[in-house]
Every structure is written in structure tokens, then in C-alpha cells.
Structure 1
Amino acid sequence: MTHIKQFIFITLITLSGINTSNAQDLNHQSTQNLLNGFISTINNDFDKVKNAKGSPYISDIFEVVKLKRFGDKTFYGRYDANLGEMQLKLDNDTIVLNNAEKYEITFVMGKKIYKSYNYKNDDDILKQGFLVVLGETDSMAFLKEEVVKYYEEKPSTNGYDEAKPAEYKRSKDVFYYRSGDDITLLPQKRKDFLKLFPKNSEDLKEFIKENKISLKDGEDLITLFKHIKTL
């Protein structure tokens, strides 16, 4: 069974007295050594993952990632969208970032950026977790929550209905709007969305109409954000 471990980079850097510029020069082995003593084990149910259909991960493969606080140093990471966890692969261990800390993680191949935030989800539950950055300035951002839900196994109840195995299923993405430090659900109705930008509402209304922008589509929101930056 793979070891899942949790660590807090900010504590590591503080205690070891290493600043960001020095961290860029660390090699893989020295990083592993530094992590010793700052890792605690998390008990995850791997049998659940193994025996279920589908996957809790956005991609099962560990991809090359960079953590902003470590500069150009690269790791291998993947995102568990069921647990809301960012995993890194180091030697024979899989370690989990403590999402209560502030992180900015870039998946190098697709330049996809995750940041950790405090926010309320669409069920009005306060969470600390990772959101994908669709577009960002100092004052605002469009963000996306990727969600995979787990459904328990359903045995046949009478011998006639079909049993259903445990399964992970990708749910619809949930979109958010950051204004300053406040993160709220991004309005899905056009009239409500335009209220976010009262000075440019007419321009945005026309742009959304001409380009057939859907406020429920991530790629469309990226296009829309790029236009907003030009206003």
C-alpha cells in the first residue's frame, strides 16, 4: 500500500532557514531529506479507490509541476478531485499538500494553475482547497472547482434489479469569482453576471451575445476574462 503523507512547506522553510532563492537549487534527494520529520501519515481508504469504477483524479498520471515557493524546481503531481487533495510523488512516497496553507501550483505541460483558497462551495459549505485559475488580476479572478463524486456500491435488492458497483463520477465544474480577497459563486445568469461590472455592462452584454459565451463553460470564461482585461 502506498504511503500517503502530509507536509507543510511553509513550516519546513521557516524551520530550516531556507529562503525561496536557495530552495530553487535543491536537488531531489536533498528535498526528500529536508522533508523528514515534517511529514505525518494520513489514513486514506485505498481499497475504496482500487475497487471502484472510474477515478478520483483529474489525471491518474503524475505530471510535471512547479510550486511557486520553490521557483523552477520541478515535482510530479496530480489532483484528487474527490478529496480535494494535491498529491506529489517523491521517490516511493506519495505526499499530500496541506491545503490549509497557501500554494500556487502549475502543471507545466498545459500551464494549468491551481491555487489554494478559503471559499464557500455551492452547498454553502466553507472549504479550504484548490481551485483552478481561469484568469486573474490583482483585483479579481475567475476560478474553477473540479469535482469528482464517489457513489457507494448498490447491491441488488430483490434479485431482479441490477447491482451497481462503487463508482467515481466527474461532476460539473463549479465556477467562482474573486473580488479582492472575497470569493463567491460566479453568477450563471447573464443579468446577474453583468452586475459585477456595472461600468462595462453594455460592452460585456454585446460581447457575450456576439461570441455566444456560456457562463457555465470554462473555455468561454477564459475568453471572456481576456476581453474584460482589455476594458
Structure 2
Amino acid sequence: MKTKKLIVLFSLLFIGFGSLYAQVDYQISSALDFYRQKELTTGEFNKQLEESDIKGSPYLNKAFEEASIFTTTKVQFKAVPLRYNIYTDMIEFETPDNTVAALAAPEIVEKIEFKDFTLAYVPYMSLNKMKRGFFQVLELGSTSLYLKPVVQFEPPQEPGAYAEAKPAEFNRKTDDFYIRFGMEAAELVGNKKELVLLFPDHQKEIESFIKSKKIKTRKAEDLKELVTYYNSL
């Protein structure tokens, strides 16, 4: 029976998109089932430097937290110890033998629900190229708002004539915000003028709303209010 169960779970992970939309409910699976899915768990995570040698943290949540993984094939893995590495844009997990690895196939992840936040794996535009990555979900609808945390790695510096040596360090930078229309690639929120241009069908209304509400493009609550308003038009 165990072998049969594993075959069924393995097959579910690779169901084509044609049959995907015929499914409504997620099949609930345990963390143990997650560890058995080699396509999800074979991505060994290698560090160039020992974490103890680096100041700061590359993680959104440094400690592993139990979370639920929802796949694009409508399978939900519950209570899996996970953490998000902002710098590598990888989801790391802790195995029962206390080793750390990273998801090998993030493209089959629809979303990951932690206690205090949700991550989604979505396409986005970067320097006129489409990429895919993990984003924190702020607002979902026909138009959605995402937050992309940013961490910069500063290499160690040798001591100079007038400066002391500095260890390697991870520095948390200002978060980026992205707006996604339907299933299109998410677009980076720039300044107010660039933000208005993201809404070609309602530019006058959006421009007026931004002025009247004094919307700031670097404030999550302001952008959530804007996206909610646009979805109501």
C-alpha cells in the first residue's frame, strides 16, 4: 500500500495543465510525503561561506517555521519546516536528520503559507527580461500586489591604512514592490509617473487617486489601497 501511495503522489506532481484546472480541492499530504518527493528535495544547498563568518542574515525568517506548500498540481504538503533565503531566492527546508537543502523545482510551487506571511512563485520583469521568483503576497485579485525583499552581500574587506578590517555581511535593503495584472509577468513599481503608466486603461482615474490619497510608492499600505481601488473600477 505504501508503494502504491507513493506512485499516486509522484504522478500528481506531474499532471498536465489540461487536467489541473479540473481539480478544485488540494490533496492533503504530510511532511513525510514531501521528503519522499525527490523532484522537490534533491537540490542540495551549498554555502560559499560559513554563516557564522557573515554578519547579518540572508533570511526573511531565520528560524525554520512549519509551513504549507501548495503545488501547481493541487497537492498541499502540511507542516514542513521551511525558511526563505532572500539572497539566493530559494526556499530551504530541514530534513528529519537535520540537514538543510533547497527546493529543486520551485516552478511547481503555487504558494507557500507561513504563519505570518504567504509567498508565491511568479514571473516578473527585470531589465526587460522575464524571470521567476518568490514574492511576498500583499494583495490578490484580478490585479495583485507583491513585495520582493532585497538583501545585498558585502564581501569582507582587508584592513587599510585608515580603516579596520570588515567581515562579510548581509545587508537588508529597501523592499521592491511589484504589480501583476492577471497572469502576466509582474512589473516593478517605480516613481509615481511610472506607476500611473502601469494602468493604461485608467490612467486619469489612477493619477487622480494617487494625488487625492497622497499615495507613496514605497509604502505597502498605500499601494494596497491603490490596487484595491483599481480592482473596483
Q: Shorter-chain TM-score category?
A: 0.7 to 0.9
Q: 1:229 aligns with which of 222, 228, 231?
A: 231
Deviation, 1:168, is 0.3
1:104 aligns to what?
Answer: 110
Tell me: CA distance 1:99–1:157, structure 2 relative to 1, closer, same or farther (3 Å).
farther
Number of aligned residues: 215
CA contact (8 A) 2:70 2:76 kept: yes
Partner of 1:127: 131
- Residue of structure 1 aligned with 2:58, choices 56, 76, 91: 56
CA RMSD, Structure 1 to Structure 2 (Å): 3.2
SS at match of 2:185: strand
Q: 2:169 aligns with which of 160, 167, 170?
A: 167
Deviations 1:142-190 (A, max 9, x none): 22221111111001123x3122111000122222232344325334232
Give the equivalent residue in structure 1 for 2:30. 27
Matches within 5 A, 1:155-194: 155-158=158-161, 160-194=162-196
TM-score (norm. length: structure 2) = 0.75
Structure 1 unaligned spans of 5+: 1-11
Structure 2 residue aligned with 1:9: none
- Kindly tell me: are residues 27 and 213 of structure 1, through their superposed partners in 2, closer, same or farther at Cα, counting changes over 3 Å? same
Q: Does 1:145 align with 2:151?
A: no
Does the CA contact (< 8 Å) of 2:119 and 2:136 recur in 1? yes
Matching of residues 42-53 of structure 1 within 5 Å = 42-45=44-47, 47-53=49-55
Change (3 A) 1:221 1:64: farther
1:112-166 deviation digits (Å, cap 9, x = unpaired): 2222233333x5565332122222334x3222221111111001123x3122111
**Structure 2: any 5+ residue segments left out of the alignment?**
1-8
Identity among equivalent pairs (%):
25
